[in-house]
A and B are shown apart, each in its own frame.
Chain A
Amino acid sequence: MGVERSGSKIVKFYVPLAFYLIFLLFPFYWMTITTFKSDQELYNLKLDPFFIHSPTINHVVELFTQTIFLRWMANTFFVAIMATAISLAASLLAAYAIQRLRFKTAGPTGVAIFLGYLIPQTILFIPLATIIFKFGLWDSLWALILIYPTFLIPFCTWLLMGYFKSIPKEMEECAMIDGASRIKIFRRIILPLCLPGVLSAGIFCFTLSWNEYLYALSFISTTAKKTVAVGLVTELVRGDVYHWGALMAGALCASVPVALVYSFFVENYVAGMTGALKE
């Protein structure tokens, strides 16, 4: 019985799990080994491509010396941080107002903001291009900083509304009886209590901003102003010459900040994702 049980556990659990993990991790493995292979090895079909035979950091050096990779990273970081800050501030206020102040049009406002989340970027980027041009923001990182909140705010507001819902109303009412103003209640009671929610929302904003591609590709044309994903593809592919080693090194290095943020806050991330789905 015991043997049979563990046997069925291997078939039903370990085998499928291994299959999934190999499938999901293989591209990252491929990315990593390509980064640390020499060009001779990379383009030699006689060698087993799944192992590194003589590791080298030449591609990483190439990435950092032949391209302005660090500049792209800094641009991406700047845009992500600014867009996150703007979105968090706006979403916190909006979510609190919709969930707690219960003003007349609170319900429709919440629905309208949520609807914004469902309009994809591929529908918006062309008219946005003309608007940015009119505003004189063409080829400026500020265009991205102002536009990214349009897909961050709807999500964050929705997520934070769920958190506000979970804070008991009695706490606010007690404070109000004690003579505290709405603003004071918001700052002293609500904000500290929904800090985990703010953290989840912030991590989402940061990773979503870091991942954005279409707007950054469409609205930025100067090489020195590009974000990292756009910069890599446009600068490391010249005509038919692909610098695969450096490209993979770039993809790997550019993923690190997101992976780091994510690894520290996995629980918040998962909670945010499932929380938002349930709302």
Chain B
Amino acid sequence: MDTVAASETAPGWGGLRQRFSRAMENPTFLGFLFVAPAELLLLIFLAYPFLLGLWLGFTNTILGGKGEFVGFNNYAYLLSDPTFRLAVFNSFFYTVVAVILKAVLGIGLAVVLNRDFRSKGLVRAIVLLPWIIPTALSAICFWWLFDSTFSGISWLLIKLGIIDHFIDFLGTPWNARWSLVAANVWRGIPFFTIGLLAGLQTVSQDLYEAAEIDGAGSWKKFRKITLPLLTPLLTVVTVFSTIWTFADFQLVWIITKGGPASATHIFGTLSYERAMQGGRFGEGAAVSNFMLPILVICVLIAFIFLRKED
């Protein structure tokens, strides 16, 4: 049938056109053709740099120069570098504390929002704002909000009589770490809330009513019904948030630049400093590569759960 149609419309080109249009009906050929643009972009700008990064970590490449293979020198050097060790600690502190706070506060807000009330749509839209607004821009705002002399937070706390002098938010290592966690939590709550709210809405009201008849209180209903039913979704959201927090860059870079005195570097900011500012690409790549084992574990957890869902 195809042959007839093709030879009728274009007699001269018959063979070629026919072969082309038949190929276009072949799922395998068409499949590869359709996937090609996406795959090419991802191969050149994602897969290739990923592998190149692994290699760079084993070289002494510097900005604009060719590097030589140096084995594990970069990694050995980093492990003896106090700044790097502190960055490892900071990365874990930042990730663990921020993700836990985001999860707890995010679930809390999702539970609060999971009922019918007027202007629910508007409130939901407002809740997502910190997530929508470019992080670099809100980070600038936090930087100013954490100012040692003009912070509104300090001013308010003094007026309330809680403290007696302005807090030097970014001046001491621990103050700076907690300030960064606060900014990260602020930005991440909406992701947990909106992600989980969709899951909450699918929980049947009958379950709660049945529990109420059995005399269960709010906390018990939450522990025994809400939380177990939310666990699969919560795992996925937590894994994503963990990856992003662990591999963060912009919040920390804009607010503290890794300071004071390199005390708040995390993997991302330290590798930027070593590679882009210091010009030591090999060493910078090695810093980034230290993140890989953790990320692989997160990805595996994500996969196991996503597969289960299917």
Interface set of A (CB-CB < 8 Å, partner B): 12-13, 16-17, 20-21, 23-25, 27-28, 30-31, 34, 42-43, 45, 49-50, 86, 89-91, 93-94, 96-98, 101-104, 106, 109, 113, 115-116, 118-131, 133, 146-147, 149-150, 153-154, 157, 181-183, 207, 210-211, 213-214, 217-218, 229-230, 232-233, 242, 244, 247-248, 250-251, 254-255, 258-259, 262-263, 266, 269-270, 273-274, 277-279
Contact = CB atoms under 8 A, between A and B. Distances in A.
Contacts of B211: none
A17 B284 CA distance: 44
A229 B134 contact: yes
Given A229-B137, A277-B198, 10 more contacts: A101-B27, A120-B244, A121-B249, A123-B295, A125-B276, A127-B50, A129-B276, A157-B38, A182-B27, A269-B128
Interface stretch (B76-84, B143-151, B168-176): B143-151
Contact of A270 (B37, B117, B124): B124
A183 B136 CA distance: 42
Given A126-B53, A126-B285, A266-B121, A181 B21 contact: yes
Given A119-B50, A123-B50, A251-B141, A278 B198 contact: yes
A123 B197 CA distance: 32
Interface string B208-236: 00000000001000000000000001001
Contacts of B261: none
Q: Which 7 A-B pairs have the closest CB atoms?
A: A103-B31, A120-B247, A229-B136, A97-B34, A274-B198, A122-B268, A94-B38
A12 B45 CA distance: 49
B299 A118 contact: yes
Q: Is the interface of A mostly helix, strand, loop or mixed?
A: helix
B34 to A, nearest CB: 4
Given A118-B243, A121-B249, A126-B271, A254 B195 contact: no
B136 A213 contact: yes
A128 B34 contact: no
Q: Is the interface of B mostly helix, strand, loop or mixed?
A: helix
B132 A258 contact: yes
Contact of B35 (A109, A120, A181): A109
A187 to B, nearest CB: 13
Contacts of B147: 244
Contacts of A133: 64
Residues of B in contact with A, size category: 35 or more
Nearest to B232: A278
Contact of B281 (A27, A49, A97, A129): A129
Contacts of A113: 38-39, 42
Contacts of A90: 37-38, 41
A128 B133 contact: no
A22 B135 CA distance: 19
Given A13-B115, A103-B27, A93 B37 contact: yes
B288 interface: yes
A248 B140 contact: yes
A109 B39 contact: yes
